[in-house]
Structure 1
Amino acid sequence: MRNWKILTGAIALGISGALLVAGCAENAPQGSSDTRAEQDKSPTPESADETEAPDAALATPVDAAAPTVIPGCDTMNAVAQQEYQDFGPEHFSEPAGEANFAVFDEQAGPIAQDVMRNARERSGCRWPVHMENTVTQYVAVLSRDDRERLVEALRAEAWPERQLDGASVFTSEVPIANSIAGSIQVNHVFVGDAWASIFYFGGQGDWGYAGSAIKGLLDANPELLAEAAESTPSPAE
């Protein structure tokens, strides 16, 4: 009888222990399995990177055109600069250097003046090359609309046009009174979005200033040559 009581107590103790273990399991935090499930649902570092906004610098098109650079007076027109040096700067009352727009405003037509006022950037230089002769050059960066408007105006006025080193060049001789030279040679050069306007108080002839102006622009902006064919309208058939 005593053994039966002992056996009954052992069975009861075993059952209660089993229930205790089961109860603990039911009430235990769902840490390991639930946490793994949540981790499985969360994005991996790689997928998180894919959802980030792209870097602003990387979003910039790789073929975005750089702003056109206007050369300084020492490189804007190498031919005029060399002639100034050869003649001797000491012979001139005013040295070569930056120029105001007085010559342009006096010699250029109304459409050219309007386009120059609208220019994104502009600059002027002058070089005394002989005692009575001076080269004055202006360079401006234009919008496509203004460039086409000026080119069309020059063609409408029948300015002689030629292609030189990938640029369109319009040249004319304008008579001027009370001058030893008798006329002023005017060149309008278009390459890409750059416009060079050159005034030479030295009479007729191909003095090389237009070609030198083109070289100055292309040395500072090599990409302009690739743009030139698309940027300047072709002459009307």
Structure 2
Amino acid sequence: MSDLPQESLLSHLIELRNRLVKTLAVFAIAFCIAIYFSEHLYEILTQPLMKFLPGGLISTGITSPFVVLMKIAALVAFVVTLPHTLFQIWAFIAPGLYAHEKKLLLPFIVSATILFLVGMCFAYFFVFGMVFKFIASILPPNMRWTPDSGTYFEFILNMFFMFGLTFEVPVAVVLMAKIGVVKIKQLKEARPYIIVGSFVIAAIVTPPDVASQLMLAIPLWLLFEAGVLAAQILVKPKSN
């Protein structure tokens, strides 16, 4: 009988290893494919800036061109394989869950993935243009604006991450209400603090122009409201 817990732990570790191997294998395949198209992907990711910087980016480091292309390939591989990665996480966790918990987890993973990708698209198609337009508009006449490619891609990766997380707010709100961490009444009462906090966060993580800050603060607030509305619909109050 004493060997059963050890056997159970060993089987879980083997299962975890197999899931990790599958995840890394799929990521590696996507990474290799992305490397092949890395130059084209570079053009796509720099397109929002090229409207205001026709001269192109510079690269000051000896290995910077290689590092930048590797980062681009890794980003694309991560995004493309995200559904598979989350599926592997779900498949590992699901056997230990009750039926009602499985019903909650799968929609959570799907919605979290979709919203994260929507947040990245929002940053690429709307936010980047506003940021670069603002920077180009404040340049003195005798100043040349020649961003480094490494700095540029570090900036857009941070923005992708921030806006991806921002669009996860409705999922987080519904999940907290569903598992009972907060009540819907408490969420409504926290609305003034959420509004102020949205603008504070936007002022910290975005460039110092009003348009960029509004494009993060307002969606953050509206997504919170969407989460509260969804929680009212999806979360049934517990009867005493």
Q: Which one has a bigger Cα radius of gyration?
A: 1
Normalization by structure 2: what TM-score?
Answer: 0.26
Relative to its length, the structure with more helix (as a share) is 2
Relative to its length, the structure with more strand (as a share) is 1
Normalization by structure 1: what TM-score?
Answer: 0.27
